[in-house]
Amino acid sequence: MSISGNCHGLCGLITAVVMLAPDNADAQVSKEQIIGTWRLTSWTRMVGDTEEPGPLGPDAIGFIMYTADGHMCGNGMRPNRPKFASRDFRGGSAEEKAAAFESYFGYCARYQVDESKGVVTHTVEVSSFPNFTGTEQKRFVSVSGDRMKITTPPVQTDGRQSYSILLWERAK
């Protein structure tokens, strides 16, 4: 049997992933360019040819920091997140905790830069999403002056293949 004879839906999925993959072929980025603190200005995701708000909504806020010694930390959230009824840090109803999880995302990692490919790889050490801990997260990065663009590889989110585009401005 040939590969094409067994292809069925798999070939369509592979084609969709290749078409969704961000183009970073000409990008170059250095470690020195990304070091510092950056404020999130936009988080969108591409699903096919459609641009949608990122998972934290159209007005997400956040910061990402890269240190000279190879550590990074990124945090994002929806603005105006509801407070728990309890002042106890470990308090909160199941519904309040679920809403808090849905409205916040963050992780800290060690990072390495592949300057010629414009790729930064985060080796995640702690994360609000447990499945990220211990994984390598590849990001396509470009910097122009005080602006940085980070693009994720395609991932499955909400049952659809997509990739995220995060725009950052150097914090002052």
| pLDDT tens per residue across span 60-86 | 999 999 999 999 999 999 999 999 999
Of 16 and 60, the structure prediction assigns the larger pLDDT to 60
Is the model more confident about 157 or about 136? 136
Is residue 23 very low, low, confident or very high in pLDDT (cuts 50, 70, 90)? low
Report whether pLDDT(166) > 50.
yes
pLDDT for 146? 97
> What confidence category does residue 27 fall into, taking pLDDT thresholds of 50, 70 and 90?
low
Residue 133 and residue 127 in contact, taking contact as beta carbons nearer than 8 Å: yes
d(C-alpha 139, C-alpha 86), whole Å: 38
Q: State the pLDDT at residue 109.
A: 98
What whole-number distance in Å separates Cα of residue 67 and Cα of residue 111? 9
Reported pTM: 0.82
Ordered structural domains, the chain, with CATH: 4-170 (2.40.128.280)
What is the spatial distance between Cα 34 and Cα 32, in angstroms, rounded to a whole number?
A: 6
Q: What is the pLDDT of residue 20?
A: 41
Q: Residue 28's pLDDT is what?
A: 81
- Mean pLDDT of the residues in the chain: 87
In this predicted structure, the answer to whether residue 15 has a pLDDT above a threshold of 80 is no
Residues 114-120 have a mean pLDDT of: 96
Instruction: Output phi, psi for 118, to 5 deg.
Output: 65, 35
In angstroms, the Cα distances linking 131 to 26, 81, 125, 126, 165 are 31, 23, 11, 10, 21
Q: How confident is the model at residue 26, as a pLDDT?
A: 54
Strands 104-114 and 61-66, bridge-based pairing? unpaired
Tell me, what's the pLDDT at 157?
Answer: 78
Q: How confident is the model at residue 43 (pLDDT cuts 50, 70, 90)?
A: very high
